[in-house]
Each structure stands twice: as structure tokens, then as C-alpha cells.
Amino acid sequence: MKMGERKFIISSSPHIHDGSLTPRIMWGVSLALLPATLVSFYAFGWDAVRVILVSMVSAVVFEAIALMLRNRRPRQAMDGSAALTGLLLGLTLPPGISNAMIMVGTFVAIIVAKQVFGGLGQNPFNPALTGRVFLLIAFPAPMTTWPLPRDLTSQISSLKSFLGLAVERHADVVTGATPLGAVKEHMLKALPHINMGDLFFGLHTPGSIGEISALAILLGGLGLLVARIINWRIPLTIIATVFAVAFLYYLAVPPKVSGMSPVSAAFYMAVFHVFAGGLMIGAFFMATDYVTSPIFPKGQIIFGIGVGLMTIIIRLWGGYPEGVSFAILLMNALVPLIDRYTMPKPFGWVDRRA
Amino acid sequence: MISKTFRGGIHPYYGKELAASRETEKLPLPDQFFVSLEQHIGAPVKLLVKKGDEVKAGQLIAEAGGFVSANIHAPTSGKVTSTDPVDHVSGRKVPAVTIKADGNDEWVDLEPVDSPESADPKTLLDAIRRAGVVGMGGASFPTHVKLSPPDDKPIDTLILNGAECEPYLTADHRIMVEKPREVLLGALLEARILGASRLFIGVEDNKPDAIKALEDEVEGLQLPENIKEISVVPLETKYPQGSEKQLIKAITDRNVPVKGLPMDVGVVVSNVATCYAVWDAVYNGRPVIERIVTVTGRGVVEPGNYWVRIGTPVSHLIEAAGGYEDDAAKLIIGGPMMGFAQGTDAVPTMKSTNGVLVQTRDEVQGPDFAPCIRCARCVEVCPMNLPPFLLAAAAEAGRYDVLDQDVLFSCVECGSCAYVCPSRRPLVQFIRMGKAYFRGQKKGK
Ligand code: SF4
Ligand code: SF4
């Protein structure tokens, strides 16, 4: 080729990039949920596999349909964000929920909470949580039926139902109250026995399939922190706020735990609130959702404290045993406001009133 | 030693090893030069030659069209064959003088300043102005103007910018290693003109040889009495360390106000290559017709550094660097962060051309981008503490009403935000669109 005749690509600077890619981030978050997913498989067997499969696949299908209706390339549905929403929703459901209900949940999450607002990046509310809260309100009974994990009868029946063999589903399932539900019921009476180890490892406590093991969530959360996909601000402020308020509350209203001083009982209960229910998954995976959380550092701290406060207020004084989902959705609504007031001033900013 | 720095910024692959240790070679003169008449910020020049004229190297061929303007000289001896517009870095065609070299490279008589160490500032400034010195780091602002701040802006500090934070480029690196004495003498002249008492030379700590060379020279330097403090300041290797406001912050901890200039905080920043040009202008009476250009990137066969006469076509430079690799796909004047992609290598070098970068096909990213996912990466890295995602989104949507102009124009277009955006959004392009809108509006009034 002769010099001076070669044609080159023209584009605006910069001409290099660090290689990061949105789909890779989304799939990375899903990967961080792998420990929790595996624990759910182990604890609830085929039911958990079914719930997560149905949730993820239907979320992606709804996304693809919506993209087609909006004249976008349906291939975008594989950008990982819909699959992540499906996975997150699935992990917050009880294992016995029916496939139809799961699909109602993913429909609300993908279509109503996300695509109606303009798709990726435009939705004010966390899609997975919106789907979950909708199910909770629409189907309160199935959404709060908690089979015990590793229960053999339910394992067998769930395998049958997975394979399409069972006619009578879950008639024989042994159910139990979630630890949070139990605490709520017994609040001012004697505390039921809660094994903190069970809560942490998650193998013997009833609960949503992905929320039973604080350890599994923590592992994934640490992975996100190390990979710099999320930063510490939101999860840490949520956990610290929940812990602090719970501790103070139980100091003021001492629970009766046999063989414990009031202070250590309060400490015990504060730790319990951190590990119980959806707090861990909420703090690390839901509240940190880029699209629906504040973008500036100060705002992230305000947001985290807000979520922590709301959660513990609902748990201690509200009508529901669990408050993480509501707390995050409520704070989601405040994000535009928080962003507006926490926007940093440009370097060298001079106050214009001066 | 702890290297100084600023808040924000990025750590891209620097790619400096391709050319950093290549000693600067004299580039053989091409047959034809295209001397652009748009090489500085300010008033346009007045053309002094016409087609058919014979010129000599160093001869004034276009005269500054005002105080804020800069002379342009012939890069070699030969004949003016055209004054028609030619390709310009900006992508437009702009007026230029085409000179067919006669191969003799005959020079005009040069008039150096007598005993520069004692010459009065006016004489020095005049020599700099006559030589057509402009900011050689890329800004192209006439140097004699920069060195004449108004009386109500006293300058106490001169900072030499040897950060060279642009990845791949090594032109400033080489001049610091090869000509440290000349650079420092030029800087002392500038400091004397400004009446500055402090002289700092900021160099990123990935150039230990440059730091050493400068420190050695500083030691043997006879300091004029106005200089009370002089030191070479190692800076953290982080982009955009060489951006003026970030450099001033890192070295002096002073904040240049929004819409303000370094002189508002008593500082003038001068690029090391500019200091060399100042030295050349004063000590040798030589105008700016030559500079160091780095030719680099995976798309050229043999990256290196060259003394290049202004107006040399880029194609000639590439030839000297062994030609293109087969998969060369993108030609950039300047560095990968702030450089300008060129459609053709017929474009000539200018006073501000510090590098030519050729990227291969697999280094070039596609034009596809996705919606903003509010990941906050752009916010984290912006050295100016701006919300790039917001500025870009507003400009993209044409919502100029929500854009604060002071915030928008604070953007230095360093590209850090776009570099880290996982949705690959062309943030800088959108921000430039926003700026262009307001500039157009101002003109329309
Ligand atoms: S880096 Fe890109 S995706 Fe992330 S907030 Fe900025 S513009 Fe949005
Ligand atoms: S907004 Fe401007 S100053 Fe900030 S990182 Fe982007 S290009 Fe650089």
C-alpha cells in the first residue's frame, strides 16, 4: 500500500479503554451469588433448582420480548442484567412456590419495574425486589410457607414435582417459622432458641432459598468488594446501622435469654438481626444495585443508613417480621433526591454567592 | 520518597517501553513540507509569502496577527509551491504553506540574545515572541503571552511540566534525559521574566532517568538571585498527572478556581519542550521549526523518537519508523487519551505534535455503546470532581437547560471517564457536544 493512501478509523478520544464491560459486571454479580445458590440447592434440593431455573429463564424471556416490542435487539436480553434479576428474585422466594407465581414475579420485575421505565439503567426501583414485594402482597400465604431445609419428605416430593411426577404437591411438607418470624411472635416473651451457627451456615433454618446462609452471601459479597464491583459504603452502613439500633433496642427492652447478661443478650440479638432473613443479601446484592442506589459517595452512605434504619424499624415495630425489601424500595424512591443533594462540587469550585 | 499526586485519575497501560529508551534521531528531511497556518490559540497569522517565493530555513513566512498570536517560520530552504489549504489535525483543511525542499537546508542568519543571563526581561520576551514559541505540550498557547501576566497577578512559582502522563508518548521524557541543561536554562529565563522565586520540575516517577538527569543538572546550576527554591518533584504515575490544575494541586496544594487560570494562584506551568524552545530562541536565536516527536504503537514496525521539522507529513515519519504493521487501523496525533484520530497520514506535524500513535485493529474498540448503568466509575476517576455521566446524558438528550455551564466547562476532556465506562459510552464526545452548543450560542448572540 502506498503511503498517504491508507485510510484509518476515526473516532473521538480517548482511544483506549480499561476493558470493563457492563455484561461482564452483571454476570460477575451472578457469579458472586453462586455460593448462596449452591447452598440453596444443598438445603432445598430440586425445589431450589426449579425455583432458580424458572426465575432466571422467565426473566430473560420477558426481557427479550420487551426488547422486541421496543424495537431493540433481543440479543441485549443476554447482557446479564435480566438473568441477574431472575436469580436475585429466585433466591428470595420460599422453596415451595409454584412456577406460575415465580413467573408473575419475574413479569412484574422485568416488565413493570424495568422495561416500562425504559429498560436497563432507567428503572427507579430494584426490579427483583419489586417482583418479590408484589408476590408477598398478592400471595401472602405461599410466600410465607417455609419448609425446613434438608427435610427428606420434602426432598423426595420436590424431586417428583421437578420431574413432573407429583400430583399432590407439598401436602406433606414439614414447615417451620423463620427465625425472624419466631422472634417477632415471641418478642416480649421468652426468646425461642436460635442457634447462631445455624443462622450463619444456614443449613437448618427455614427461609427464602438463598437467604438462609449468611456465610454464603458474605463470601459472594466479599468477592464483589475485592473485584471492585461494589464498594463498602452501602453494605457496611446498612449492617452497622441495623446492628447499632438493634443493640440499643435490646439494651432498653432486654430479651430473656437464659444464662446471659442483659448486655450480652442485646449483643446476641443484634448479631442475630444482622445474620437473619434477607439482610445480608439485601445489603450486598440488592441495595448495591447501581441503577437504583445513589451514585455519589456521600449519598451512598446516607442511603445505607436509611436502609438500615427502615429495616430495623420494620422488624422491631412494624407489622412484618422482615423489612429489608421494603426498606430498600423506600430508599430507592429517594435516590434522585439524595443524588441531587450529594453531588460533589467541581475541583476549584468557588461559591457563587461569595 | 513519596510521589505527589491529585484526587481521581486512572492507571492505564502506559506503553512507554516501546519508545522510552530510544535515543532521539534526526529525521531525514522530506521533499515537501506542509506548514499549517493554524498552529496556535489566538489571532490568525498574516501570510508573508506567495507561490513561487524562495525561502530559507528559519525565515518568517507568516506573522503573528496580534499580541495573542505566534509567528511561523519556514522549516527548510526551498520554494513555496502552494498556499492552498491542507489537512489539519482537527480533520478540517486549513490554510498552509507548501514548500518544496531544495535539499540544501540553508538557514537565515540567526540573532541570538547577547549574554542571556543578564539580558532584561523585555529583550527575552521579544526573542521568544519572534521565535514563535507556543505551548509544546499540546495547548499551543503563545508562550510570550503566558509569560506576560497582568500586573495584578503576581507569579511566585514556575512549574515545569515533565509529567508526560499521556500513555505511549516519550518526547518530553527524551528531552529531559537528553537536554536537561537546555530545559533548565530555558526555565530559568522564564522564571526571571515572571519574577518567580520558586521553580519546580514535576516528573512522573516512571521516569527515574529523567529525574536523575534533571537533579544532576540542578546541582551544577548557577542560580540567578531571584530563585529561592528549586527542586525536581517526583509525581505519582497516574493519568492525568500532567493536566495543569492537577499538577499545580499536586505540587503546591493550590486550587485553581473554576474558570480560573494558574496565574490566579500565582503559578505558571510550562512544558519542558517549551522550555527547550525558549532556550533555543534566546541562546541561539532559532525559531520553532523543529521538535521531538514520538512515533509509536503496535501499528508501526519500529517505534522511536525523532527530531522532526514542523510541517513534515506524518507519512514520512511513519516511513522512518519502519512503516506500518499489516494490521494498523488507527492513526492518532498525540496520545491515546487526548489525541486526535486521523483519516489520512498526509496530515503534517505542527509545533504541538508530540507524538504519532498507530493502533492495530484489535486495539480499536467498536462504536457500540450501552445505556449508563450508574456504576459511578466515571465519578470516581474524574480529576475535576464532575459527574461525567450526568453531563453526557444531558448533552445526549439535548437537555442543555439542565447543564450548568461552569460545571460543564470545568471538564478538561482528559478522557478518564470514558476510559473506565463499562457501557463504553463516548462521554467525552457528548460533553464536547454540550460545550459546542454553548459556544455556538455565545457566538449567535
Ligand atoms: S462509567 Fe459509564 S455506566 Fe458507569 S456511571 Fe459513568 S457513564 Fe454510567
Ligand atoms: S468529565 Fe471531563 S475532566 Fe472529568 S474525567 Fe471526563 S473528560 Fe476528564
Quick one: A124 exposed, middle or buried, by C-beta within 10 A (0-12, 13-18, 19+)?
middle
Q: Is A11 on the interface with B (CB under 8 A)?
A: yes
Q: Which of A13, A24, A349 sits opposite B337 (nearest CB)?
A: A13
Q: Is A341 on the interface with B (CB under 8 A)?
A: no
CB-based contact A291 B374, cutoff 8 Å: yes
B223 lines ligand 1 (CB under 6 A): no
For residue A319, the model assigns a pLDDT of 74
The shortest C-alpha distance from B65 to chain A (Å) reads 31
| Per-residue CA distances from A242 to A88, A273, A308, B183, B211 (Å) | 22, 7, 5, 61, 52
CB-based contact B373 A120, cutoff 8 Å: yes
B24-56 per-position pLDDT tens digit: 888 899 999 999 999 988 899 999 999 999 999
Q: What average pLDDT does the segment A201-223 reach?
A: 82
3-state secondary structure of A174: coil
B153-167 per-position pLDDT tens digit: 999 999 999 999 999
The shortest C-alpha distance from B88 to chain A (Å) reads 14
**B91: alpha, beta or left, given left = phi > 0 and alpha = psi -120 to 50?**
left
C-alpha of residue B390 to centroid of ligand 1, in Å = 9
B414 lines ligand 2 (CB under 6 A): yes
- Torsion sign (Cα): B398, B401, B404, B405: positive
Cβ-Cβ pairs closer than 8 A, A with B, add up to 165
* pLDDT higher than 90, residue A44: no
**Closest CA to ligand 1's atom 1:** B421
User: A81 to chain B: nearest residue by CA?
Assistant: B373
Average pLDDT, chain B: 92
A163-194 per-position pLDDT tens digit: 444 434 344 455 666 777 766 655 444 455 56
Q: Are B134 and B145 in contact (CB under 8 A)?
A: no
CB-based contact B370 A120, cutoff 8 Å: yes
CB-based contact A20 B313, cutoff 8 Å: no
Q: Rounded distance, CA A4 to CA B313, Å?
A: 9
The shortest C-alpha distance from B444 to chain A (Å) reads 26
* pLDDT higher than 60, residue A160: no
Quick one: B203 exposed, middle or buried, by C-beta within 10 A (0-12, 13-18, 19+)?
buried
The shortest C-alpha distance from A288 to chain B (Å) reads 10
B412 lines ligand 2 (CB under 6 A): yes
| Nearest one of B385, B381, B349 to B140, comparing CA atoms | B349
Between B183 and A188, residue with greater pLDDT:
B183
B70 lines ligand 2 (CB under 6 A): no
Q: Is A14 on the interface with B (CB under 8 A)?
A: yes
Q: Rounded distance, CA B72 to CA B309, Å?
A: 12
* pLDDT higher than 70, residue A5: no
CB-based contact A22 B389, cutoff 8 Å: no
Q: Is B357 on the interface with A (CB under 8 A)?
A: yes
ipTM of the complex: 0.90
Q: What average pLDDT does the segment B399-411 reach?
A: 91
Q: Which of B331, B342, B371 sits opposite A121 (nearest CB)?
A: B371
**Closest CA to ligand 2's atom 1:** B388
* pLDDT higher than 50, residue A4: no
C-alpha of residue A23 to centroid of ligand 1, in Å = 13
> What is the Cα Rg of chain A in Å?
22
B436 lines ligand 1 (CB under 6 A): no
CB-based contact B363 A22, cutoff 8 Å: no
Between A261 and B396, residue with greater pLDDT:
B396
Between B91 and A237, residue with greater pLDDT:
A237
Cβ neighbours of B298 in A, within 8 Å: none
B408 lines ligand 2 (CB under 6 A): no
B410 CA: nearest ligand 2 atom: 3
B346 lines ligand 1 (CB under 6 A): no
| Nearest one of B21, B22, B320, B20 to B164, comparing CA atoms | B20
* pLDDT higher than 60, residue A154: no
Q: What average pLDDT does the segment B345-363 reach?
A: 93
Show the cell assigned to A30.
Answer: 451472578
Characterize the bridge pairing of strands B157-162 and B198-204: parallel
A53-80 per-position pLDDT tens digit: 999 999 999 999 999 999 988 888 999 9
B298-349 per-position pLDDT tens digit: 999 999 999 999 999 999 999 988 999 989 999 999 999 999 999 889 999 9
* pLDDT higher than 50, residue A1: no
For residue A183, the model assigns a pLDDT of 64
Residues 6+ apart with CB under 8 A from B16: B167, B168, B169, B170, B173, B206
B370 lines ligand 1 (CB under 6 A): no
Confidence of residue A195 (pLDDT cuts 50, 70, 90): low
Partner A, chain B 369-388, Cβ-Cβ below 8 Å? 370-377, 379, 383-387
For residue A207, the model assigns a pLDDT of 76
Domain segments of chain A: what residues? 22-143, 172-339
* pLDDT higher than 60, residue A341: yes
Residue in this structure with the C-alpha cell 452512605, named with its chain if needed: A301
Q: What average pLDDT does the segment B236-248 reach?
A: 93
User: A121 to chain B: nearest residue by CA?
Assistant: B373
DSSP code of A262?
A: H
The partner residues of B330 in beta bridges, in order of sequence, read B359
Q: Is A18 on the interface with B (CB under 8 A)?
A: yes
Pocket test for ligand 2, best of B258, B414, B425, B432 (most atoms within 8 A of CB): B414
C-alpha of residue A227 to centroid of ligand 1, in Å = 17
For residue B29, the model assigns a pLDDT of 92
* pLDDT higher than 70, residue B442: yes
Between B141 and A192, residue with greater pLDDT:
B141
3-state secondary structure of B15: coil
For residue A2, the model assigns a pLDDT of 46
* pLDDT higher than 50, residue B269: yes
For residue A186, the model assigns a pLDDT of 53
Q: Which of A6, A290, A346 sits opposite B410 (nearest CB)?
A: A346
Confidence of residue A7 (pLDDT cuts 50, 70, 90): confident
For residue B20, the model assigns a pLDDT of 84
| Nearest one of A289, A290, A217, A208 to A34, comparing CA atoms | A217
Pocket test for ligand 1, best of B368, B382, B389 (most atoms within 8 A of CB): B389
Q: Rounded distance, CA A67 to CA A88, Å?
A: 21
Q: Is A188 on the interface with B (CB under 8 A)?
A: no
The shortest C-alpha distance from B41 to chain A (Å) reads 20
